[in-house]
Amino acid sequence: MTSTPTPTPGTPPPAGGLDPAIAARLKRGADGLVPAIAQQYDTGEVLMLGWMDDEALHRTLTTGRCTYWSRSRQEYWVKGDTSGHIQQVKSVALDCDADTVLVWVDQTGAACHTGERTCFDADVLPLGQ
């Protein structure tokens, strides 16, 4: 979590922000956000889903640490700043529609706020019912 004053998601980033060519390609939701999937780079394990606006994506690309926009707290947060469960960025890609970001990371510790390795292993739904 950071205490830096933050713009509202979807507002233009400050000078020196996200590359305009990347920003022009992004298809954001009405709230100015795109879903960002974090995946373990070497195993393919899907870790979590977070939300990014232009500034969060810019910070992720330039710092090498995943930065997300917290919809509940209405602020930016860098994964691991308070928990120590850091996501070191290995690569970032847009999907074919440019409406989702995929971040390949090297995850230290748990990715889920519940303390689990991933957000997707606790509630597997039955098929064929």
pLDDT value for 4 = 40
What is the length of the chain? Answer: 129
Q: What mean pLDDT do residues 79-93 have? A: 95
Q: What mean pLDDT do residues 88-115 have? A: 96
- Which of 12-21, 25-34, 37-46, 51-60 shows the lowest mean pLDDT across its residues? 12-21
The yes-or-no verdict on residue 111 having pLDDT over 80 is yes
Q: What CA dihedral angle connects 73, 2, 44 and 110, to 10 degrees?
A: -80
**With contact defined as beta carbons under 8 Å apart, do 18 and 98 qualify?**
no
Q: What mean pLDDT do residues 36-50 have? A: 97
Candidates 56, 74, 75; CA nearest to 66 is 56
